[in-house]
Chain A
Amino acid sequence: MASKRHILPGFGISMGWSVTWVSLLVLLPLAALLGKSASGGWEHFWETITDPEVVASYRVSFGISFLAALINGVFGFFAAWIFARYEFPGRRLLEAATDLPFALPTAVAGIALTALYSPNEWIGKHLEPLGIKIAFAPAGVLVAMIFIGFPFVVRALQPVIADLPADVEEAAACLGATRWETIRRVVLPPLLPALLTGAIMSYGRAVGEYGSIVFISGNIPYKTEITPLMIFQKLEQYDYPGAAAIGVTMLAASLVIVAIGNRLQAWGNRFRKEA
């Protein structure tokens, strides 16, 4: 069985198994998604994805996610930096807790954030007198998206910060650069691709997120409804072509986001080799 090209045995079974599995569980269903989205005709497709309520949901899913990615970019960078460079009590605990949003089921996160930020609860009751509404408002969607996307930036940056050679920073300091100049001109440029990659990944995750958002958002039409929820609505009306049309649109958008992320990563790797 083992041919000259494949020295180790098992090519047939491992390859056959993985290809069959992926075909049945990913390829075939994706083909069904494309097929169904076309089955209602082009007009129905276009009408569905440009429906005002659906368009409003893009603003929430794609717009607020962008804001969340920016905030996560800043705090993710700070967190990755202090984990790598500073020694302080509780550092390992924080480092391990970074992945909590990966491990905590989204429904649990959803009801916890809602309980925290509702008008008469823990944090919400202190914000209410100030006129700040978080739960059941766009700010609530933002909070859930920050929660869900945070680990990506930290995890993308950590290995790159660990790889930074100390001698270039020492050289910059010896040549008379202030610490701020060193950070801005020597430290930040090689970190930038990884930072952007992490931010893009957290953006992509927030765009598709459902579970943690639907509790805190209150699902107010035209205000806090997210695009995945629109798919639900179409399914409830048995409008399969419409649901598939929104699904295809989201899939295409995610594809673009991932492609940008991969490009950035490739750029960063080239940067690292040159450095």
Chain B
Amino acid sequence: MASFIDFRNPPGSDRRADTAVRATAEPLWIRRILIGSVLAFFILFLFLPLTVVFQGALAKGFGVIANAFQDHDILHSIQMTLVVALIAVPANTAFGVAAAWAITRYRFMGRGLLLALIDLPLWVSPVIGGLIYVLLYGRRGYFGPWLTAHDIKIIFALPGMAMATIFVTLPFVARSLIPLMQAQGVEEEEAALTLGAGGFQILWRITLPKIRWGLFYGVILCNARAMGEFGAVSVVSAKISGRTNTMPLEIERLYNDYLFPQAFAVAAALALLALVTLVLKTLSEWENARQFEASRRVSLETTIEPLSSPLT
């Protein structure tokens, strides 16, 4: 057996190994060109921009970064970003679980429409995501006069920014959960029901543990988008540094004021968040695949067991 393998792939002979697999694989030189061109593409469009961000932040030394993160306006923009994310992410997490539950557990009229509306913010321009709220709550919007009369400020203030952020991040949690819950089915929930569990007991003890990785996946994507949103928020924010600027808006302000090291320092903080998000996302994808594999193995064992055990 071993001699047979050695015969086909003599050690140190790349060419021979290549001819052995030629039937269903590309020649080595094509493989090298493909890998090389993809690598060049990644370097040019993904890795270099990322490097530039950190290089730009460090260009004038750590002192500038340390000073930047003591600046009142920059600190305030970080606070604004956190506040907006703290409103948008929990709100859309709760919505995502409710919507995924409704869509995967029941058949009802308008189910397709609900799905389409949840998807809508994914393909609509973020600028439109901000515009629609200005048209409703802006000074010349439909509710504008009433809001002005009652001295309520939504546009150019936190409520409008939170709403625009909720709009653009609306699909993430629901979209991560729906295919997962569809695939998992409802047998365990129904079993719990026949054993006398109530609705929230089922949700808390059965469903949430089952979907926790999918939920985690959706929440981190939702959070990354909420903290990084620029287009939608810049329509509804007054863009006053130190008052209504989130971090992405503050980057724009610093950049336009030619304060490049500071702009890149804030950008580097957001780029770090993006990298952490990517790592967590990849880990949860692997975990998802592992769990899927494990649950398949378990179901295989349970179907085999009655056969191997003569007592049942």
Chains A and B are bound partners: yes
A residues with a Cβ closer than 8 A to B are 5-11, 13-15, 17-19, 21-22, 25-30, 32-33, 35-36, 75, 78-79, 81-82, 85-86, 88, 90, 94, 96-97, 99-113, 115-116, 122-123, 143, 146-147, 150, 166, 169-170, 173-174, 179, 182-183, 201, 204-205, 207-211, 215, 227-229, 231-232, 235, 238, 240, 243-244, 247, 250-251, 254, 257-258
Residues in A whose Cβ lies below 8 Å from that of B120 = 26
Is B135 a contact of A36 with CB atoms below 8 Å?
yes
CB distance from B240 to the nearest CB of A (A): 15
Is A32 a contact of B135 with CB atoms below 8 Å?
yes
Q: Which one of A106, A147, A257 contacts B231 once the chains associate, using CB atoms below 8 Å?
A: A106
Is A105 a contact of B98 with CB atoms below 8 Å?
no
Q: Which one of A6, A79, A111, A205 contacts B251 once the chains associate, using CB atoms below 8 Å?
A: A111
Is B24 a contact of A14 with CB atoms below 8 Å?
no
Is A26 a contact of B167 with CB atoms below 8 Å?
yes
Q: B201 — nearest CB in chain A belongs to which residue?
A: A9
Segment at the A interface, from B6-14, B101-109, B295-303, B304-312: B101-109
CB distance from B296 to the nearest CB of A (A): 16
Residue B255 CB within 8 A of the other chain: yes
Distance, CA A235 to CA B128, complexed state (A): 11
Is B170 a contact of A26 with CB atoms below 8 Å?
yes
Distance, CA A30 to CA B107, complexed state (A): 26
> Total A-B residue pairs with C-beta atoms closer than 8 Å?
282
Residue B80 CB within 8 A of the other chain: no
Is A107 a contact of B131 with CB atoms below 8 Å?
no
Residues in B whose Cβ lies below 8 Å from that of A27 = 117
Residue B282 CB within 8 A of the other chain: yes
Is A244 a contact of B135 with CB atoms below 8 Å?
yes
Residue B149 CB within 8 A of the other chain: no
Q: Which one of B99, B138, B202 contacts A9 once the chains associate, using CB atoms below 8 Å?
A: B202
Given the contacts A100-B50, A240-B135, A228 and B125 also touching, CB distance less than 8 Å: yes
Is A107 a contact of B46 with CB atoms below 8 Å?
no
Residues in A whose Cβ lies below 8 Å from that of B27 = 179
Is B117 a contact of A79 with CB atoms below 8 Å?
no
Residues in A whose Cβ lies below 8 Å from that of B193 = 7-9
Residue B227 CB within 8 A of the other chain: yes
Can you offer 8 A-B residue contacts whose CB atoms are under 8 A? Answer: A18-B95, A79-B41, A90-B39, A97-B46, A123-B44, A179-B22, A205-B123, A243-B131
With an 8 Å Cβ cutoff, the count of chain B residues facing the other chain is 97
User: Of B102, B108, B136, B252, which is in contact with the most chain A CB atoms at under 10 Å from its CB?
Assistant: B102
Is B105 a contact of A8 with CB atoms below 8 Å?
yes
Is B39 a contact of A94 with CB atoms below 8 Å?
yes
Contact with A along B226-253 (1 / 0, CB 8 A): 0111110011000000000001110110
Q: A248 — nearest CB in chain B belongs to which residue?
A: B128
Residue B208 CB within 8 A of the other chain: no
Residues in A whose Cβ lies below 8 Å from that of B89 = none
CB distance from B249 to the nearest CB of A (A): 8
Residues in A whose Cβ lies below 8 Å from that of B127 = 208, 210, 228-229, 231-232
User: Of A22, A29, A36, A115, which is in contact with the most chain B CB atoms at under 10 Å from its CB?
Assistant: A29
Distance, CA A9 to CA B247, complexed state (A): 42
Residues in B whose Cβ lies below 8 Å from that of A235 = 131, 134, 235
Residue B79 CB within 8 A of the other chain: no
Q: B192 — nearest CB in chain A belongs to which residue?
A: A8
Residue B20 CB within 8 A of the other chain: no
Residue B60 CB within 8 A of the other chain: no
Distance, CA A85 to CA B117, complexed state (A): 37
Q: A205 — nearest CB in chain B belongs to which residue?
A: B123
Distance, CA A21 to CA B190, complexed state (A): 27
CB distance from A265 to the nearest CB of B (A): 13
Residues in B whose Cβ lies below 8 Å from that of A6 = 105-106
CB distance from A238 to the nearest CB of B (A): 6
Residues in B whose Cβ lies below 8 Å from that of A183 = 26
